[in-house]
Amino acid sequence: MPDITELILDDHDWFRRQFAALDELRRSTPVDSTALRDVWQPLADHLDVHAVAEEEIFYPQLLRRGGGEAEDETLDAIGDHNDIRDGVHAAARHPIGTDAWWEAVQTARDANDEHMSEEENEGLPDFRLHSAFGLRESLGRQFTAFMARHKGARGVDVADKDPETYVAQVEERNKDTPGDVDEAGRLDGSLGIGSLKGK
């Protein structure tokens, strides 16, 4: 099982390829709205689910184990997730292929590019430096199961989250739940990553 940092990077690569596919479709004349939908809808859904999976699984553990910048990295990430969601959900309000739709898609793309760059250079290296491989593998299993369970954005709350409220709630749960890893890489007790829905 790849560790969670590898799975996040795999998703980042996939996002880049899908946006590149949209670029190619945009060049065609006339633009094929069905082909655009076939690329965009899975991409939009995956952007939504990926953000929630990180918020449920990765960032609580970064806050628990990361270095001195973990809180700032998390605040930035949740803000980025909100910007990505805003672009994705704005696109859903416009006919595919229209100028307004492309503008919303570009908003999501720009926010996602910024987020991926920051995460790849800050949050992921921080977590690799401060966490055991066994933990990263355990979280990778959780991440994989979460993504499969919520494929197509089924059953996830994709509303924006206030970054400061999110961090405060996670840090409070981290204080109240064990999170040590034994030599086999198994988590001792709850991850403390229950649903944030409605909070």
CB burial of 82-111 (b: ≥16 within 10 Å; e: otherwise) equals: bbbbebbbbbeeeebbeeebbebbebbbeb
Percent of residues, the chain, with pLDDT higher than 90: 80
Question: What digits encode the pLDDT tens for the residues 100-151?
Answer: 999 999 999 999 999 999 999 999 999 999 999 999 999 999 999 999 999 9
Is pLDDT of 2 > 90? Answer: no
Distance of alpha carbon 196 from alpha carbon 27, whole angstroms? 41
Average pLDDT of 158-187? 77
Is pLDDT of 186 > 60? Answer: no
Asked if 136 contacts 125 with a C-beta cutoff of 8 angstroms, the reply is no
Distance of alpha carbon 182 from alpha carbon 188, whole angstroms? 7
Mean pLDDT rounded to a whole number for the chain:
89
- pTM equals 0.87
Distance of alpha carbon 89 from alpha carbon 128, whole angstroms? 32
Is pLDDT of 30 > 90? Answer: no
Distance of alpha carbon 115 from alpha carbon 92, whole angstroms? 21
How much is the pLDDT for 177?
76
